[in-house]
């Protein structure tokens, strides 16, 4: 017997097995979708950001950096 689920076709040969399988397949599909985004994404590191990155993205740091460039007339101080 061939059954359709979310546009996909599968065949077990037994109608009772097919009917019993549908709830598990539905849950599996929901779990897979959930794992592809947000806090469940496989590559997420728990929302941690390095301290250096946090500082460099702050408005205060960007303002300070621009002020230093202006003060030094955009010239390297080591050369």
Q: How much is the pLDDT for 72?
A: 93
The arithmetic mean of pLDDT across residues 59-66, rounded, is: 95
CA distance linking residue 33 with residue 63, whole number of Å: 41
Mean pLDDT of 20-34: 83
pTM above threshold 0.75 = no
The model's pLDDT over 41-61, given as tens digits with 9 standing for 90+, comes to 777 777 777 888 889 999 999
Q: Are the CB atoms for 11 and 1 separated by under 8 Å?
A: yes
């Amino acid at each position: 017997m061939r059954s359709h689920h979310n546009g996909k076709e599968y065949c077990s040969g037994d109608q009772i097995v097919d009917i019993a399988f549908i709830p598990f397949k539905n849950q599996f599909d929901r779990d897979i979708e959930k794992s592809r985004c947000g806090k469940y994404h496989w590559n997420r590191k728990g929302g941690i950001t390095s301290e250096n990155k946090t500082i460099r993205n702050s408005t205060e740091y960007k303002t300070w950096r621009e002020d230093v460039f202006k003060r030094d007339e955009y010239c390297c101080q080591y050369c």
